[in-house]
């Protein structure tokens, strides 16, 4: 309901008569109780004050605080006062800030002054907090901090004082986000909160205020010598009751303040930080954000002191278009650079390998060159220090070349270009160099700073130069890590080995991993039982940048999972928590999917989400399949990977599929007998593939089947209302069909001066006294609209239908 004239008068702080007079001047007849529409509001705002709203707010608080009306002259001064920011959050908008007692106000209470002092102190504190948060952000954004972004932090190698000084203590992975969230309060990007309700409901607040005018701090009788806290800490959200307890106030007092702010809250209702801050401020109390409780799914991050960092080998990923020679180049490098001493073992694929060149080590990520693995490679770039972009000299820049460039660039990884196949007839390295300039890669020979090396994997030309350049770039990049601390690494690949159990290839990134270390890897944990390098040699320890295959985990982790060394108790409990979190989020993601048969739902277009379970032979293909499936673009259907894992399709996979109504995709794996039986019983659809693209194509086709029918609007006619006939029951628009036709079943919209005033259906369509199905162009008819009576002469009735359009 719109506001009444007498309320508007109050808002503008002028006598009602004055409002009525002004309205009269504008030919608007109104009484005290007439509603004020937008037009009237505009007139009043224009007449009474251009800053009417601001005044209103300022006046409101003063009224609340003092019980007096405040004169316009006082307001005027107040509106130009600098905005008094909420020091702890910085999110108080001008409106909210103007709610504080103003220094210039003669009615300012002692407690308000006191509040200001506190706010001043807190402003300082808020600034410090913001700076700390920024510093933390900067730290996590540094290359060293890349992997542990937002991770729980502990200082290693620092003196205690140093550590404390540097980071105020500890931090967890993911907590960076929280910090940011808090920090956000210092900016304008504050999320929508209840605070906006407080501010947005100024009108009501004002009304309340004028009725319940009383001093802000008058609630606590002066004689009562109760001491209240001047500062309280509040979490992101807090229950009203608990908030009142923290303030040392009666719940009723807090609820009252909330009410005055336009918030109807009960004792057990949650209010957010900003609202709490506002209310606390009313009590002269400042609030500080309470540290979020430690995330039980995180492991403490160790921050290494600069002096503990030692040079480590570079980790290189080879990227490029299909068939440009990635595998050949990796093989050629491996063959030519494995010393006879090292060549003892049998080469094994563990996802990465090391070579020695000029006495220095280089680690190459060893990922198969296939389009579907682009996603894996993109992940590779996260552990990668240098990307070698292979471009065939006879083929030039191709789509995946560009993709690779983008992946490396977005990961902030420097690129060295290897122009391969220069031995081939028709090879044109110069042309490739020229093509690459279009993507910001300009060779040194052409005045740019991208290293470009012509090579031939077949003829082993240019390999030395390539390796030399990798080492030079590595040196320039100052790649360092602290080897003397508990290890942290990333899973490159993982699989379930029949004889050995879960096997994970890990690239150690920080610290040194030892046999016997207790580790947590994603939701898995265990003790490093054995460690081997890519030549199958047993290792006792692995320093930074060293890839190793480890045994001893209780389950198969996923590529990209972080490995941390910790104690057994922590490993076990944190892994458990992570598993719980994973399970519940998987369940949540599928809560809307019913248990009915998947394909009948697809046919009925009811499914908005296609849950899928992926099982594959190795982690690499599972990951590739997952990324490719998630990459399928559809506006209507979201693909949800309920579970993805390595190994045969088991009975438990089928039960999970049944519960979440998922489709099971097996890649190079088969279901075991129990799973097959269960699938039959549970009516779960299993699809086996040997080619990733077949799987992707099938899912895409399924999605096409799932697409909801699309409709588009088709206007079928227009009529003009020429006469409005009012009967006690209905309002009939006597209309003339100007164009097309009106039909009884059509949807209509009523257009007045180009604005749609109604959209709905025709209630009745008549010619003379008869109901008709349709009225053609050039004829007159009587139209009544469904649940709408405000038809006016000159209105236009537009009739339309929704027609189905075929999916692409
Ligand atoms: N002439 C010549 N042929 C090469 C050279 N390097 C690779 N090839 C050939 O190019 C083809 C593709 O090489 P791969 O090493 O499989 O290429 P890839 O980029 O790993 O391919 P995907 O794994 O499919 O992405 C093979 O037939 C190689 O023999 C080279 O230096 N000279």
Span from the CA of 371 to the centroid of ligand 1 (angstroms): 14
Distance 415 CA to ligand 1 centre (A): 20
Of all protein residues, the one whose alpha carbon is nearest to atom 7 of ligand 1 is: 325
For 501-546, the pLDDT digits (tens) are 999 999 999 999 999 999 999 899 999 999 999 888 899 999 999 9
pLDDT digits (tens, 9 = 90+) for 7-44: 788 788 887 788 888 888 888 887 766 788 888 888 88
Percent of the chain with pLDDT over 70: 68
- State the distance from the centre of ligand 1 to the C-alpha of 78, rounded, in angstroms: 75
Asked whether the predicted pLDDT for residue 419 surpasses 60, the reply is yes
What is the Cα–Cα distance from 547 to 501, expressed in whole angstroms?
19
Q: How far is the CA of 239 from the centre of ligand 1 (A)?
A: 64
Higher pLDDT, 86 or 399: 399
Structure token pair of residue 646: 């390595």
Ligand 1 atom 6, closest CA: 325
Closest C-alpha among 11, 19, 24, 3 to residue 51: 11
Q: Which residues contact 46 (CB under 8 A, 6 or more apart)?
A: none
3-state secondary structure 79-109: HCCCCCCCCCCCCCCHHHHCCCCCCCCCCCC
**pLDDT band, very low/low/confident/very high, at 574 (cuts 50, 70, 90):** very high
**Euclidean distance between CA atoms 770 and 766, whole angstroms:** 5
- The one-character DSSP state at 291 is P
pLDDT tens digits for 365-392?
A: 876 433 333 444 444 436 888 989 999 9
423 is in an annotated binding site: yes
Q: Which amino acid residue places its CA nearest to atom 2 of ligand 1?
A: 421
Rounded distance from Cα 366 to ligand 1 centre (Å): 15
Instruction: Name the one residue in this structure whose structure tokens are 């542990």.
Output: 148
CA-nearest residue for atom 9, ligand 1, is 325
Helix (H, G, I), strand (E, B) or coil at 252: helix
Q: Using the atom order of ligand 1, give the atom closest to the CA of residue 420.
A: 31
- How many angstroms is it from 323 CA to the middle of ligand 1? 5
Does 321 count as an annotated binding residue? yes
Q: Are 131 and 278 in contact (CB under 8 A)?
A: no
* pLDDT digit string, tens, across residues 424-468: 998 999 999 999 999 999 999 899 999 999 999 999 999 999 999
Give 456 Cα–ligand 1 centroid separation in angstroms.
10
Structure tokens that stand for 303 in this block: 């921050």
**Distance between Cα 326 and ligand 1 center (Å):** 7
- Distance in Å, CA 217 to ligand 1 centroid: 80
- 176-185, 256-265, 531-540, 612-621: which is most confident: 531-540
- 12, 15, 16, 17: CA torsion to nearest 10: -130
The Cα-based distances of 637 to 14, 590, 644 in angstroms read: 57, 13, 19
How many CA atoms, within 13 angstroms, populate the side-chain half-sphere of residue 676? Answer: 6
Question: How far does residue 417's CA lie from ligand 1's centre (Å)?
Answer: 16
pLDDT, the chain, mean? 73
d(CA 52, CA 49): 5
Tell me whether residue 370 is annotated as binding. yes
Distance CA 68, CA 410 (A): 60
Do the annotations mark residue 320 as ligand-binding?
yes
Q: Closest ligand 1 atom, CA of 320?
A: 19
Nearest-CA neighbor of 532 among 349, 297, 738, 794? 349
Strand partners, 616: 646, 667
Pocket of ligand 1 (CB under 6 A): 320, 322-328, 368-370, 420-421, 423-424, 456-458
* ipTM tops 0.90: yes
Which ligand 1 atom sits closest to the C-alpha of 457? 31
Question: 692: pLDDT confidence band, cut at 50, 70 and 90?
Answer: confident
pTM to 2 decimals? 0.48
Copy the structure tokens of residue 125: 């504190």
What burial class does residue 124 get, using C-beta atoms within 10 Å of its C-beta: 0-12 exposed, 13-18 middle, 19+ buried? exposed
Judge contact between 215 and 61, C-beta under 8 A: no
Distance CA 119, CA 123 (A): 6
Q: Distance, CA 180 to ligand 1 centroid (Å)?
A: 46
In whole angstroms, give the CA distance from residue 89 to residue 184.
8
- Find, among 396, 483, 475, 392, the residue nearest to 435 by Cα: 396
Helices (H) and strands (E) in the chain — how many of each? 25, 34
**Ligand 1 atom nearest residue 371's Cα:** 25
Task: From the CA of 461, give the closest atom in ligand 1.
Answer: 31
User: Residue 291 and residue 298: Cα distance in Å, rounded?
Assistant: 16
Query: Which of 327, 328, 426, 621 has most ligand 1 atoms within 8 Å of CB, for mutation?
Result: 328
Mean pLDDT for the stretch of residues 218-241: 74
Partnered with residue 723 across adjacent β-strands are: 734
Residue 90: predicted pLDDT: 33
- Residue 779, judged by CB atoms within 10 A of its CB (0-12, 13-18, 19+), counts as middle
| Ligand 1, atom nearest to 368 Cα | 23
The CA distance from 254 to 622, in Å, is: 55
368 marked as binding residue: yes
Count Cβ atoms below 10 Å from residue 516 Cβ, excluding itself. 11
3-state secondary structure 313-366: CCEEEEEECCCCCHHHHHHHHHHHHCCCCHHHCCCCCCCEEEEEECCEEEEEEC
Phi first, then psi: give them for residue 117, nearest 5 degrees. Answer: -60, -45
- Radius of gyration of the chain measured on its C-alpha atoms: 35
Q: How close is the Cα of 389 to the center of ligand 1, in Å? A: 14
Local confidence band at 89 (pLDDT 50, 70, 90 cut-offs): very low
DSSP assigned state of 39: H
- Of these ranges, 124-138, 357-371, 551-565, the one predicted with the greatest mean pLDDT is 551-565
Beta bridge partner(s), residue 159:
none
Q: Is 366 annotated as a binding residue?
A: yes
The pLDDT score that the predictor gives to residue 243 is: 93
SS3 label, residue 802:
strand
Is 367 one of the annotated binding-site residues?
A: yes
Three-state DSSP at 423 gives coil
Looking at the CA of residue 459, tell me the nearest atom of ligand 1.
31
Mutation to probe ligand 1, out of 317, 318, 321, 325 (largest number of atoms < 8 A from CB): 325
Q: Return the minimum-mean-pLDDT range out of 491-505, 506-520, 539-553, 666-680.
A: 666-680
CA 331 to ligand 1: nearest atom = 15
β-bridge partners, 526: 519, 553
For ligand 1, atom 32: residue with the closest CA: 421
DSSP at 372: G
Q: What is the mean pLDDT of residues 112-126?
A: 41
> Which residues 6+ apart lie within 8 Å of 60 measured at CB?
99, 202, 205, 206, 209
What pLDDT shows up at residue 450?
95
DSSP annotation of 51 reads T
Residue whose token pair is 């390999």: 463
Q: Is 483 annotated as a binding residue?
A: no
Ligand 1, atom 28, residue with closest C-alpha: 325
What CA–CA distance (Å, rounded) separates 590 from 267? 34
Annotated binding residue at 369?
yes
């Amino acid at each position: 309901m719109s506001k009444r004239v007498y309320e508007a008068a109050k808002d503008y702080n002028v006598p009602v008569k004055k409002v009525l007079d002004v309205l009269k001047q504008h030919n608007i007849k109104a009484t005290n109780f007439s509603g004020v529409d937008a037009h009237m509001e505009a007139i009043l705002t224009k007449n009474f004050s251009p800053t009417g709203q601001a005044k209103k707010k300022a006046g409101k608080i003063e009224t609340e605080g003092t019980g007096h009306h405040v004169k316009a002259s006082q307001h005027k001064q107040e509106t130009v006062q600098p905005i008094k920011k909420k020091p702890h959050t910085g999110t108080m908008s001008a409106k909210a800030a103007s709610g504080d007692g103003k220094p210039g106000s003669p009615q300012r209470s002692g407690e308000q002054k006191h509040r200001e002092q506190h706010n001043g102190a807190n402003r300082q504190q808020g600034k410090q907090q913001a700076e700390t948060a920024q510093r933390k952000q900067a730290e996590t954004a540094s290359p060293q901090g890349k992997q542990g972004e937002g991770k729980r932090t502990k200082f290693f190698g620092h003196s205690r004082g140093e550590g404390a000084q540097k980071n105020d203590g500890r931090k967890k992975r993911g907590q960076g986000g929280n910090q940011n969230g808090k920090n956000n309060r210092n900016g304008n990007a504050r999320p929508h909160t209840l605070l906006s309700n407080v501010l947005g409901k100024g009108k009501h607040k004002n009304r309340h205020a004028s009725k319940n005018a009383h001093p802000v701090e008058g609630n606590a009788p002066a004689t009562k010598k109760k001491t209240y806290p001047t500062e309280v800490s509040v979490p992101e959200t807090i229950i009203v009751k608990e908030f009142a307890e923290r303030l040392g106030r009666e719940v009723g007092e807090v609820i009252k303040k909330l009410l005055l702010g336009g918030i109807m809250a009960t004792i057990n209702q949650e209010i957010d930080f900003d609202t709490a801050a506002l209310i606390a401020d009313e009590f002269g109390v400042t609030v500080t954000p309470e540290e979020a409780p430690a995330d039980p799914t995180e492991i403490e991050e160790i921050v290494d002191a600069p002096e503990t960092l030692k040079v480590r080998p570079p980790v290189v990923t080879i990227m490029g278009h299909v068939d440009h020679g990635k595998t050949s180049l990796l093989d050629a490098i491996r063959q030519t650079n494995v010393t006879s001493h090292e060549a003892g073992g049998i080469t094994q694929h563990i996802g990465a390998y090391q070579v020695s060149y000029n006495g220095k080590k280089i680690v190459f990520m060893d990922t198969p060159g296939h389009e579907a693995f682009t996603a894996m490679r993109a992940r590779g770039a996260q552990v990668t220090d240098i990307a070698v972009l292979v471009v065939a000299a006879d083929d030039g820049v191709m789509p995946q070349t560009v993709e690779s460039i983008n992946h490396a660039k977005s990961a902030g990884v420097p690129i060295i270009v290897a122009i391969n196949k220069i031995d081939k007839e028709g090879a044109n390295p110069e042309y490739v160099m020229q093509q690459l300039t279009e993507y910001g890669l300009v060779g040194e020979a052409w005045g740019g700073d991208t290293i470009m090396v012509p090579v031939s994997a077949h003829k082993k030309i240019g390999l030395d130069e390539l390796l030399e350049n990798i080492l030079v770039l590595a040196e320039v990049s100052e790649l360092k890590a602290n080897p003397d601390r508990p290890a942290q690494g990333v899973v490159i690949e993982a699989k379930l080995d029949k004889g050995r159990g879960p096997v994970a290839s890990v690239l150690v990134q920080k610290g040194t991993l030892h046999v016997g270390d207790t580790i947590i890897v994603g939701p898995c944990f265990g003790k490093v039982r054995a460690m081997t390098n890519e030549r199958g040699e047993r290792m006792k320890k692995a320093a930074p940048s060293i890839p190793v295959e480890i045994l001893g985990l209780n389950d198969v982790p996923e590529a990209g999972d972080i490995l941390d060394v910790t104690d057994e108790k922590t490993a076990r409990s944190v892994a458990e928590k992570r598993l719980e979190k994973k399970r519940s989020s998987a369940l949540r993601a599928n809560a809307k999917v019913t248990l009915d048969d998947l394909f009948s739902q697809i046919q009925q277009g009811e499914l908005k989400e296609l849950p899928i379970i992926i099982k594959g032979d190795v982690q690499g293909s599972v990951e590739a399949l997952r990324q490719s499936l998630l990459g399928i673009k559809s506006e209507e259907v979201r693909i949800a990977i309920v579970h993805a894992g390595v190994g045969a399709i088991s009975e438990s996979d089928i039960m999970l599929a049944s519960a979440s109504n998922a489709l099971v995709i097996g890649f190079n794996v088969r279901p075991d007998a129990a799973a097959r039986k269960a699938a039959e019983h549970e009516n779960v659809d299993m699809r086996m593939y040997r080619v990733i693209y077949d799987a992707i194509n099938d899912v895409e086709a399924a999605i096409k089947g799932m697409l909801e029918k699309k409709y588009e609007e088709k206007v079928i006619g227009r009529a003009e209302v020429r006469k409005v006939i009012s009967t006690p029951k209905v309002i009939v628009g006597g209309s003339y069909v100007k164009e097309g036709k009106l039909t009884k079943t059509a949807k209509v919209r009523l257009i007045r001066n180009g604005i749609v005033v109604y959209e709905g259906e025709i209630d009745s369509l008549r010619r003379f006294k008869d109901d008709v199905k349709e009225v053609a162009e050039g004829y007159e008819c009587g139209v009544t609209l469904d649940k709408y009576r405000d038809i006016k002469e000159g209105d236009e009735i537009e009739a339309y239908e929704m027609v189905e359009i075929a999916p692409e």
